[in-house]
């Protein structure tokens, strides 16, 4: 991931130092489990733990140098570990294991930790949207369908629906985290030919993972599910960001991104206050969906394994997790800081729409008064067309129409915003978590 979108805490998890350090822990835990079963001498296993090499930049460089000879990164890693530990104890490093036992288990451990960060940040976004929903549930705004004025809703209803969607993403990410928190140390083709299943259980338990049946590699639908969870979160953030972009348009003006002192919206036009964070979220969500496609392609491998997935995962898994966390933090800041221009929203809802947002209410009032629905529809449709063509208030046009025989109370009730959003707190009732 390029530095611009790289959160330091997630990037550290996917660093070579962390990767090799986790692989080394798998190796030593395996040796200790073998010692418990009487395969490895107890004092040799203790020596491996005591002389555990420090994994740092020099260690990584040595592995890379050794790989120039082995042309196999795990074999190079094992060689370097053995050389640093020293014989004869080092002979028990990688005993009975195959590369994927170590690599896959270490990767799943890393992905589970990264998903913990994703879940924390996704929950923070959900809670930010929830706070804004509760704050603005009573603030009316024009609802739009097909980009056109429809009926009144409230800012809070919008925020609540976004919060509910992110909560579903949290639930999906929780399942993905559970699915990826697994490990395997069952050897070549996964038959435990040279390693006891109890060793696998012991190592996975120590790492907070669940041992699962596997071929030589852990099934890649688990990794694809992680990428789906990231892509789903990205798409939810895009939906929120797209709404911000639409509401921020000059002719709408119902919301604005926070704008810091000294910030510039355009290098050429000083008046600009562009929704750049929302646009960035929309763009980056496309990247996350692309990573999902790659992850799905990785699921089908030859027989008990091949390594066509390996090169793909070295790119898409670290990048997807880093990008998801970056986006979540930006989306949360956007939700917290979004400026809601209530006065403009109310103006657009009433004068800006010419009152056309009340057309269904008038239609139903006419039906209730005894008019046939199609006749009522045509009366209201004609009045709406006249209002648009003449730039007049819809209510005034209806008041002059002899076909509209509503009494004053019914007529007034049809244009009552409060009546139309009376059930708005139902949205808040659905926000059942605490925030």
Catalytic positions are 146, 266
Residue from 23, 33, 38, 29 nearest 198 by CA: 33
Nearest to 232 by CA among 146, 174, 300: 174
SS3 state of residue 198 = helix
What's the rounded Cα separation, in Å, for the pair 166 and 16? Answer: 32
Sorted by sequence, the CB contacts under 8 Å of residue 314 that are 6+ apart come out as none
Helix (H) or strand (E) holding 364: helix 359-368
Cβ(410)–Cβ(365) under 8 Å? yes
Q: What is the CA radius of gyration of the chain?
A: 30
E-strand spans in 176-297?
182-183, 210-211, 255-256
Taking the C-alpha atoms of residue 177 and residue 237, their distance in angstroms, rounded to an integer, is 20
How many other C-beta atoms lie within 10 A of the C-beta of residue 332?
21
Q: For 371, phi and psi rounded to 5 degrees?
A: -80, 145
CA nearest neighbour of 427 among 133, 219, 176, 187:
133
| Alpha carbons within 13 A on the beta-carbon side of 183 | 32
């Amino acid at each position: 991931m390029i530095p611009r979108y790289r959160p330091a805490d997630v990037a550290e998890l996917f660093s070579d130092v962390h990767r090799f350090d986790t692989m080394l822990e798998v190796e030593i835990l395996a040796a200790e489990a073998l010692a418990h079963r009487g395969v490895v001498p107890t004092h040799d296993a203790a020596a491996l733990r005591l002389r555990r090499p420090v994994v740092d930049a020099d260690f990584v460089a040595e592995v890379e140098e050794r790989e120039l000879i082995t042309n196999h990164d795990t074999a190079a890693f094992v060689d370097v570990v053995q050389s640093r530990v020293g014989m004869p104890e080092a002979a028990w490093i990688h005993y009975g294991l195959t590369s994927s036992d170590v690599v896959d288990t270490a990767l799943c451990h890393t992905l589970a930790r990264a998903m913990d960060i994703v879940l924390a940040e996704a929950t923070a976004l959900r809670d930010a949207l929830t706070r804004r929903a509760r704050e603005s549930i009573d603030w009316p705004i024009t609802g739009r369908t097909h980009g056109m004025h429809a009926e009144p809703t409230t800012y809070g209803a919008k925020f609540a629906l976004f919060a509910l969607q992110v909560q579903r993403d949290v639930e999906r990410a929780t399942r993905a985290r559970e699915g990826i928190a697994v490990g395997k140390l069952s050897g070549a083709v996964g038959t435990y030919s040279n390693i006891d299943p109890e060793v696998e259980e012991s190592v996975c338990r120590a790492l907070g993972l669940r041992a699962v049946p596997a071929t030589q590699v852990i099934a890649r639908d688990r990794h694809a599910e992680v990428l789906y969870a990231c892509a789903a979160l990205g798409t939810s953030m895009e939906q929120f960001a797209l709404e911000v972009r639409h509401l921020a348009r000059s002719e709408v003006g119902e919301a604005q991104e926070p704008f810091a002192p000294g910030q510039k919206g355009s290098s050429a036009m000083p008046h600009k206050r562009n929704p750049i964070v929302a646009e960035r979220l929309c763009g980056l969500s496309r990247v996350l969906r692309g990573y999902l496609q790659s992850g799905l392609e990785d699921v089908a491998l030859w027989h008990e394994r091949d390594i066509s997935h390996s090169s793909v995962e070295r790119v898409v898994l670290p990048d997807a997790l880093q990008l998801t966390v970056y986006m979540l933090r930006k989306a949360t800041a956007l939700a917290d800081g979004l400026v809601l221009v209530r006065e403009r929203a109310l103006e657009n809802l009433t004068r800006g729409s010419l009152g056309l947002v009340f057309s269904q209410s008038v239609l139903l009032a006419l039906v209730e008064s005894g008019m046939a629905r199609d006749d009522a529809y045509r009366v209201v449709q004609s009045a709406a067309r006249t209002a648009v063509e003449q730039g007049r208030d819809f209510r005034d046009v209806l008041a002059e129409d002899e076909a509209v025989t509503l009494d004053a109370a019914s007529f007034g009730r049809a244009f009552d915003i409060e009546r139309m959003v009376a059930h708005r707190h139902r949205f808040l009732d659905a926000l059942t978590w605490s925030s």
